[in-house]
Structure formats: C-alpha cells, structure tokens
Amino acid sequence: MSEENKGYDFTGLSADEDFDSFLESIRRDLGEAPSPRAASRPRPAAPVEPAEPEPEPVEPEPAEPEPEPEPRPVRKPRSTRPAESVQQPEPKRERSAAPKRRDAEPRPAAKAAPARERSARPEPQQPQKSARRSAPDIKWGPPPEEKKGRRSAPDEPPRRSGFARALILYTVVLVVAAVAVMAVLWKYLEAYEFTRPENVMSQFEQMADEQYWETAITSSFAVTPSEFETKSQLEDELCLSLLRDGKMTYVKDEVYTDAAPVYLVSVNGVELCRVYMSPQAGGEAGFGLQYMSINKVELLADFIAPKARSITITAPVGATVTVNGIAVSESYLSDAAPDTSYLPELEQNATDLLCCYEIANIYGTVEIAGTAANGDTLVAEKSDENGAVFALPEGELSYTIYAPAGATVSVNGVELDENYKKTGEDTTLSLFEGLENYGAAPEMEAWEVGGLHQTPEITAADESGTALSAPYLQDGVYVFQPAADEELAASQQQYAETFYNLYAAFEANRDDKLDTNYYNILPYMYGGTPLGTRLASEYSSRQPSGGVAAGSYDSVEVTGFVPYGDNLYTCTVLLYNDDELAGSCAVAFIKASGKWYAAATVEYAVE
C-alpha cells in the first residue's frame, strides 16, 4: 500500500466483518496503529472498556456471503494538522506481549478508547468490522464459568446491592437493640432479686448465730422451774440445742402481704418466731422496686414459755427415787393407785408393795433412777417423758405344793400351768408312813413357785372342780389331800376335836401335870403306831416336844375329813390368832377292832 493511503480510515466502507478484519491485519503489518473498533450494535448502552491487545490474527476462513447491510455514511476526514506535524514520521508502536489470561478473572467489557492527541497528520480511517466475526475458534473472553470466577476474585470484590446493605444495617440495629434490652433486663432481674423478701430471710438466717439467739432467749425465757431443774439448763435444752443442731426453715405467714411481708420460722418442725419486714426508707432500687428490711423478730410463746407437765413414778415401798440426781421426798407421795402392770404374775394383787410419786412443773428431759431398800439398783420397766415404773425386785419366798394327780393348783387366784410343775419327782407323805396296812396313800403331783414377796394364798381343786381340803406343811411343802367327806366329818368332828385338845395339853405340859395329861390321851392311842411310839418316848423322858400344838391360839378349827378306805382317814386342825392362820396340824386316824385311834400327826407353823 502506498503512502497515499496512510491516514485514511477505511472502516465502515464494507459491512463485511471479514473484510474489516483483513484491512486491519494489513494495517498492523504496515506498522500502523489499529483503528478503534466500532462498538457492536447489540449493546449500545453498555460502557465500552479499553480493548485488550489482541493476539496475532489468524487468517479467517472464507464465509458464506451475507446480505449487505445498508451503506453507512462515510465519515468526513478529520481536520489536518499543520505541515510541521505532518512531516514528522510517526513513531512505530511496539507490540506488547499479550497478558496471560487468568482463569478466575472475568474479561472486562470493552470500553471506549481514550481520544488521542491529534497530530497534524490525519490518521487513516480503518474500516469498521461487521457485526459477525470470522474467527470462531479464537476466544477473546473467558467462558461464563471463568467470568463468574473472576467476579469473586479478592482483588476486585463484588459490589453489594442495596438490599444487602439494608439487611446488614437492620441486623446491626437489631443486635444493638437486643443488647440494650438484655442489659436493662439484667439490671431489672438483679434489682428484683435483691429486693425480694426471700433474700432478706436468707441474710437473716446467716446473721442469726448462736450468740444472737442466746441473747434473745435469755431475755425472753419465761419459765419457773421446779427443784429438779434449772433455768439455764432448760434454756439450753429446750431452745439453744434445738437451734444449734436443727435446720431452720421459713414459710409465709397467714398475715403475709407484698407491702408488709411476715415469715414464720421453724427449726426441725418446732415453730420458733415470726419475722416482720417493711420497705427501707429511701431504698428505691429502680423499676418501682424497693429494698426490704427486718423491723421486728417476735419469739413465739410456745417456744420461750413451754407448757409444764407432771411425771408419775411407781416404785417399791422403801425404795429411794431420784430425779436428775435429786432425791424425791415423801412430800411427793400420791394417793393415786400405782401401776401394777409390772408386778409378778403370781402377785398381781400386791399393790401394798408399791407406792406412787407425782411431781409437777417439769419442762425438760429428766433422768429418773431408783435404789431398792437393800441397796440394789432398780431397773425401770418403763421410762418416758411422763414418768417411770420400777418393778419389784425378785422376792425371796418360794413354795413347793403337792396335790393329788389331776388336780389344779392356784396361787393368789392365778392357776398354775405346766411351767410350774415339777416332773419326775414322787413323794410319800410322812403322815402315811407306817400306816400302809390301813389304807393307800394318794398319788401326788409336785408344783413349785418362787420369787414371791408375800405368803401366797394357795388353793386346789380336783378334776370335778371340787375344792380340796386345806393344805398342811410337810418339811416346808404345802400338801393338799383329796376333797373332804361331809358325812365322815359329821360323825368324827367331835371325836377329833377332843383328841387334839388332849394332845395339845400333853405337848404343852399344861398345868405341869405330865402324868395326868399323858393318861388322859392314852384311850385315843394305839400301840405300835408312829404317834403312840413318839408320845411314849416323850413321857419316859419327861420332855414333851412341844411344837405347834403347844402354842396358844384364839380358836381351833378341825376340818378336811378325807377317807382313804374304810380303815383310814385324815383331818386338818387349823389354828388362828386374831383371825389369822398361825399353824395347822394334820392327824391320821386308823380303825382297829371297830374303834378309831390317832396314829400319826404332822404339824407346821405359818410364818
């Protein structure tokens, strides 16, 4: 191409894009600057960014001819510069290396090239490219995926929309408001907690130590103790020990109001006091709340003035009783019946062996002790806050009882069971010794009772319920014989009484007439019997044995006539002084040659 063509712009002379590309490649080969490319028509409103340096052009493949667009008006040639500028040769533009494409950065849109300073030499016009390019294999921009990656590159952050800005602003405002609300709520809860009456009660519980309560109770305790207790002892036992060892709890009292709270305080279930509260002067805590303070602590009357009680003590007569180590005097003896529930089984009616003490104005726990008359320590069968019962110590009296087999024996009205029976022991009544030829002695069973304090009342009955004859003693043993025979008693009563009076006169050597008394009794005696042999020996020695029969008695009763066959019977002589049984004598009679003779006697005294 000649120099004449330099400075002319052929762009736009052809609507064919391939032709425009061809002209532009020729211009680059000649070292001229490429003419600015016309903006494509599909995006007229988008701003045009500077075009990146294009790579080496590739020969376009021939394309099918397209219908030519309407001819565009030819641009007028730009005004020429002064001659001086035209004569100067235009410096060649060095071709810069194409920058490396970044996969993650989108290709910026083409912008309008800034206007160059025009020289005096008119620039050649380049023909405009057609809307269709002829090099489909050349990608001048990254694919949509690459463009998407390039937009999120850190060196060029995406621009936020207005909605995002509004959302961020709304979130910040909401967070600030929430923090402010939480701060106010925190302040309110803190003020609410410290103004609650429960908080004041918790502080009161920590403040009220033992010294506090000791001062309060000592000044308010209203008790007048007896001689067995002291005021300081009661304060410590009834009040301070409870506070010292117990757990304090409190509940709203029935008169509780929000303006004037009242709490009922208890320790281990024992009501202690009432705590009254009121708002503090100038104690506003904000939010309409006020601090509370205690204005009165009222000790309850049942706590500082407990009710007195009486204690009752049952003890054996003659025993020494102490309460808290202090002896109980006879002034505390009561007319009330003693507790007999712990008397021995066989002495339930021995109430005269016990006495009763009654002591009033007792408040605390007392220690009750007892000592028997012989110095032995008594054991309390029952002891509680209302008193104590001391049982009788074990008695020293014991008895053995013989009764016919099958009979029932009772002691002081209590029928003896099998536990009192002595098994494997046979006995032969001395009254029947040497009289075996005249009758058979009854089969006897032995019973034994002990630990009694008084002489018991002993009775027996046969299998039919008939009472047996009064017992007599044989070597310290009570002996019961079978039931009496009324018909025999009627025929022998007078005879037996006469014999006994003569026998007693001889044994007592009445009027010092030993010979007379002996000869008076001989008609009632039978030789060879135990009684006849003994009296003959006493008469020979001139020393009557005396015994129970020699005593002086107010009255004599002969009873209990019991037959043992046709030739033997026994009877019992009861001796009384002042209507009290003082002794007895059992007499056995045998029948010989049709006549009854006294054959044996057994005597015993009742102590």
Torsion of CA 123, 127, 132, 137, to 10 degrees: -60
Q: Which of 366, 390, 414 is the last residue of a domain?
A: 390
Instruction: Give a yes or no: residue 174 inside a domain.
Output: no
Task: Report the SS3 class of residue 262.
Answer: strand
Domain boundary among 304, 331, 354: 304
Same domain, 587 and 476: yes
Instruction: Let me know: does 20 contact 11? Beta carbons within 8 Å.
Output: yes
**Are residue 601 and residue 477 in the same domain, yes or no?**
yes
Mean pLDDT of 77-102: 46
CA distance 49 to 15: 23
Same domain flag for 37 and 137: yes
Residue 182 lies in a domain: no
Within-domain flag for 581: yes
Same domain, 407 and 546: yes
- What is the pLDDT of the chain when averaged over all its residues? 79
Assigned domain for 114 exists: yes
Are residues 450 and 566 located together in one domain of the fold?
Answer: yes
Beta strands 380-384; 387-390: pairing state: antiparallel
Same domain, yes or no: 11 and 125: yes
Same domain, 348 and 467: no
Judge whether 577 lies within some domain: yes
Residue 254 falls within a domain, yes or no? Answer: yes
Q: Name the band, by pLDDT with cuts 50, 70 and 90, for residue 356.
A: very high
User: What average pLDDT does the segment 596-606 reach?
Assistant: 88
Q: Are residues 419 and 524 part of one domain?
A: yes
State whether 471 and 330 are in the same domain.
no
* 594 pLDDT tier (thresholds 50, 70, 90): very high
In a domain, 168, yes or no: no
Whether residue 468 contacts residue 462, with contact meaning beta carbons closer than 8 Å, is answered with: yes
Query: Which tokens go with 584?
Result: 């007895």
Tell me which residue of 405, 584, 569 sits closest to 493, measured CA to CA. 569
Residue 535: give its domain's CATH number.
3.10.450.540
Specify if 500 maps to a domain.
yes
CATH number at residue 336: 2.60.40
Please say if the pLDDT value at position 184 is more than 50. yes
User: What tens digit of pLDDT does each residue of 47-68 get?
Assistant: 444 444 445 554 545 545 555 5
Task: Please say whether the beta carbons of 518 and 539 come within 8 A.
Answer: yes
Ranking 92-96, 158-162, 216-220, 550-554 by mean pLDDT, the lowest is: 92-96
Residues 373 and 241 in one domain: no
Tally of structural domains, the chain = 4
Same domain? 526 vs 438: yes
The whole domain housing 227 covers 196-304
Instruction: Examine the domain organization and report whether 222 and 297 are in the same domain.
Output: yes
**87-96, 178-187, 482-491 — which is least confidently predicted?**
87-96
Residue that is last in its domain, among 372, 390, 408:
390
